[in-house]
Amino acid sequence: MVKTQINNSDFPNFVLLTGTANEPLAMKIAKLLKSQINNPVSVFADGEIRIKIAPNLRRRHVFIIQPTCPPVNDNIIQLLLMIDAAKRASSSEVIVIMPYFGYSRQDRKEMARVPISSAVIASMIAHAGADRILTLDIHSEQEEGFIQQPWDNVYASYALAPAIKKKNLDNLVIVSPDKGGVSRATFYQGLLGASELAIVYKERDLSVNNKSEALAMVGEVKGKNVLLVDDMIDAGGTIVHAANYLKEKGAKRIFAAVTHGLFSGDALEKIGKSALEKVIVTDSVKHRNEVTKNSKIEIVSVAPLLAEAIKRIETGDSISSLIIR
Amino acid sequence: MLIFSGSSNKPLAQKIAHDLDKKLSPVEIFVFPDGEKRITLQEKVVDQTAVLIQSTNTPVDTNYMELFLMVDALKRSGAEFVNLIMPYFGYQRQDHIFRDGEGVSLEVMAKILEAIGINEIFVFDLHSIKIPEIFTIPTHNLSALPVFAQKIREQFSGREPILVSPDMGGIRRIKEISEMLNIPYVTIVKDRDLNTGSICDSQLNGEVDGRQAIIVDDMIATGDTMVYAADLLLKNGATSIFAFATHPVLAEKASKVLQESKIEKVFVTDTIEIPEDKKFAKLEILSIAKIAANALK
């Protein structure tokens, strides 16, 4: 892992801000960067958010760390208002660090008369005045094209792969729990030197929200250890169905490596009852206590990755070389 | 013309549609377990004029997001013209930088409303009449004052009440209704501490002795302005106090504070839907639906 060394005395021109979305992660990043960090958010009596930024931002680069995880709508508006306040305080550049991008799954018109919500969010961030965006495992990288501003996307495999390697799993098959995740699975296959790849097919009924079912698969898992990889666990249906299906097909030990762990609804209960041995997720979103205490869930931090990315943005070094291929 | 409603104030939207001899166009607003919303319009909107009715009261951020996504769905589905009726305009009070390091939240919302493709906006009793100026699209500040004037005529005919503005920011409003009713007015000069937000000083300009006082304001947030004004008016000899405010924000314990105050009756409008647990005995809700419907005609 790269040693991240940057601090305000070397680079006096940057300021870190965080909203309320994921303060523990923001604090970790600030610590790695040996920098102060400020939270400018408070709430008025009527529920409207108020921003008041304390440090001087004049001619400085401002990094705002705010994943738009649940409560998603509040975290989005909070981000917009922070960007606006930072711009008006004469900062020279506002860089938005969004480890999780809410609404990123609504990235196309999958049926008639729906919005492209992800494009709405991206455009709002641009209109509020952001000069640059950094995301982590955005649902589809095409979303970077929604706006004109520079948009870098880094991969959580930087943090997840070492955690998986530590498990010393032999005879490992990387499995994508749906058709859309095949390139991610291939990527992990290369990263972990796994010999095989499998894909679980799933058919999603669009008229029933959040319900999915594993139906068939390509590949062989019998007698093998399995690692399911995905960008997010929301209500958990996709990954739990896939895991149980793989167990039926004779898989030995079943793990999952997932970037964003939302664990909505009864996800934890489903995972508890499932064939999954361990789910490794990052701290891209703020986890509830039930998640951090859950024995089936292992959390690895993306703070070193994001700190390094912030350092490279600040020093003008390559971000793409942060992406291990 | 098709009329759509967000989920912030459906009863008002239904009334407005009814006054236009129309039905609300169906739209599905599904909330995923993680709190994300999915909007699906259930009707063809190609080449149509669409009216969207959505207040951005509490939960303000969720109501705004829903509004933005609905407009995006309308525009992408081919609606030719999108009219927004936003009876209550959230974040309107943050219209300038009060203290260093703050933003101008109102302008952020205005910028986005325009950027997502809204063609025309109707709002009610803005806190500052300069707000339409920050828009480049037509933005109309409608008023509930005609509804209030009618109610005051009914309730106070034959008596000699006096109108009261609870602060100097409401001077234009109080002049307007005073002219409508031919009833004189007085004003209160109110000072707020910028740090705590609480009222720290006030004085009354004018005579209220022996008269029924009618306070008129744009909104009731925590209720402290109304109660403060009522106490000051009673101290100066007013015989009874009535309160009129367009927007029932009713933050924190406002309902309890007003019910337990010396105000006899509180009149508000339906720009914001009041949840059952915030309604109180002294409250009477008047409707602005007809004014909104007329503006659309």
Cβ separation of B61 and A78 shorter than 8 Å?
Answer: yes
Q: Which residues of chain A lie closer than 8 angstroms to B43, CB-CB?
A: 113
Contact assignment for A114 to B59 by CB distance below 8 Å: no
Size of interface A-B (CB pairs under 8 A): 156
> pLDDT at residue B134 above 50?
yes
- This prediction's pTM: 0.94
Q: Are A14-154+303-322 and A157-300 the same fold in CATH? A: yes
Predicted local confidence at residue B200, as pLDDT = 73
Chain B, residues 58-77, CB within 8 A of chain A, namely 58-62, 64-66, 68-70, 72-73, 76-77
Query: Alpha-carbon distance A259 to A155, whole Å?
Result: 9
B239 close to B209: Cβ distance less than 8 angstroms? no
SS3 content of chain A, % helix, strand, coil (to 5): 35, 25, 40
Q: Averaged over B279-283, what is the pLDDT?
A: 98
ipTM greater than cut 0.90: yes
Are A68 and A80 contacting, i.e. CB atoms less than 8 angstroms apart? no
Average pLDDT over residues B183-209: 86
The distance of B194 to chain A (nearest Cα, Å) reads: 13
One CATH from 3.40.640.10, 3.60.15.10, 3.30.365.10, 3.40.50.2020 for A14-154+303-322: 3.40.50.2020
Instruction: Give CA–CA dist A113/B75, Å, rounded.
Output: 9
Rg over alpha carbons for chain A, rounded to the nearest Å, is 20
* B54: closest CA of chain A, how far (Å): 16
B42 inside 8 A of chain A by CB = yes
Which of B73, B91, B116 is facing A114, going by the closest CB pair?
Answer: B73
- Delineate the domains of chain B, giving CATH numbers in brackets: 2-142 (3.40.50.2020), 145-287 (3.40.50.2020)
| Closest by CA position to B45, among listed A104, A234, A112 | A112
More confident call, B231 vs A205: B231
Distance (Å, whole) CA B210 – CA B65:
49
Q: Judge contact between B84 and B109, C-beta under 8 A.
A: no
Q: Using alpha carbons only, how large is chain B's radius of gyration in Å?
A: 20
Give the H or E element holding residue A293: helix A289-293
Task: Note whether B30 contacts A209, CB cutoff 8 Å.
Answer: yes
Q: Look at residue B195 in the predicted model and tell me its pLDDT.
A: 74
Average of pLDDT values for B104-117?
97
Interface of B with A in 133-152 (CB under 8 A): none
- From the list A28, A202, A224, A286, the catalytic residue is A202
Residue B217 bridge partners (DSSP): B245
Q: Looking at residue B196, what is its pLDDT?
A: 75
Rounded distance between C-alpha atoms, residue A258 and residue A5, angstroms: 28
Nearest to A102 among B36, B64, B100 (CB): B36
Average pLDDT of span B197-224: 91
What is the distance in angstroms between the Cα of A146 and the nearest Cα belonging to chain B? Answer: 13
CA of B221: which chain A residue's CA is closest? A46
Of A69, A72, A209, the CB nearest to B38: A209
pLDDT of residue A12: 66
Q: What is the pLDDT of residues B2-16, one digit of tens each?
A: 999 999 999 999 999
pLDDT band at B68 (very low <50, low <70, confident <90, very high): very high
The answer to whether residue B192 neighbours chain A at the CB level (below 8 Å) is no
Contact across the interface for A51 and B105, Cβ inside 8 Å: yes
Give the closest-approach CA distance of A119 to chain B in angstroms. Answer: 9
Measure CA A250 to chain center. 31
Helix (H/G/I), strand (E/B), else coil: B212: strand
**Residue B278 tokens, joined:** 């915030």
Asked if the Cβ–Cβ distance from A49 to B105 is below 8 Å, we say yes
More confident residue, A158 or B193: A158
Name residues whose C-beta falls within 8 Å of residue B277's C-beta, 6 or more positions apart in sequence: none
Active site residue A202: yes
**What is the token pair recorded at A99?**
């480890």
What residues contact residue A258 under an 8 Å CB cut-off, 6+ apart? A228, A229, A230, A231, A232, A233, A239, A279, A280, A281
Pairing outcome for strands B265-269 and A254-261: unpaired
pLDDT for the residue numbered A206: 61
Closest approach of chain B CAs to the CA of A115, in angstroms? 4
Domain borders along chain A are 14-154+303-322, 157-300
Handedness of CA B113, A44, A18, A70 (dihedral sign): negative
CA distances from A147 to A4, A118, A319, B42, B56 (A): 30, 11, 19, 29, 26
Please tell me the distance from the alpha carbon of residue A55 to that of residue B181, in angstroms, as a whole number.
51
> Residue B158 has what pLDDT?
85
C-alpha torsion sign, points B6, B11, B12, B18:
positive
Cβ distance A80 to B112 less than 8 Å, yes or no, reads yes
The first and second tokens of residue B273, run together, are 């839907």
C-alpha span between A228 and A185 (Å, rounded): 8
**Residue B293 CB partners (closer than 8 Å, separation 6+):** B16, B19, B20
Q: Does B239 touch chain A (CB under 8 A)?
A: no
Residue of A nearest to B46 (CA): A113
Question: What are the b/e assignments for B96-135, b being 16+ CB within 10 Å?
Answer: eeeeebbbbbbbbbbbbbbbbebbbbbbbbbbbeebbeeb
Cα A35 from Cα A4, distance rounded (Å): 12
pLDDT digits (tens, 9 = 90+) for A44-64: 999 999 999 999 999 999 999
The series of mean pLDDT values per 10 residues for chain A, 325 residues long, is 53 89 98 96 95 95 98 98 97 98 96 97 98 96 94 94 95 93 93 93 64 76 97 94 95 98 97 98 98 98 97 91 69
Q: What's the CA angle centered on A278, arms A276 and A283, to 5 degrees?
A: 125
Chain A positions touching B34 (Cβ under 8 A) are 69-70, 72, 234-235, 262, 264
Provide the pLDDT for residue A6: 54
Distance (Å) of CA B227 to CA B183, B220, B244, B247 = 22, 10, 12, 16
Q: Among A69, A114, A120, whose Cβ lies nearest the Cβ of B116? A: A120
Contact A73 B62 (CB under 8 A): yes
pLDDT reported for residue A1:
47
Which has more pLDDT, A168 or B202? A168
Identify the residue with better confidence: A206 or B132.
Answer: B132
Contacts of A52 in chain B (CB under 8 A): 99, 101-102
Kindly report the CATH number that applies to the domain delimited by A157-300.
3.40.50.2020
Query: Is B231 touching A (CB cutoff 8 A)?
Result: no
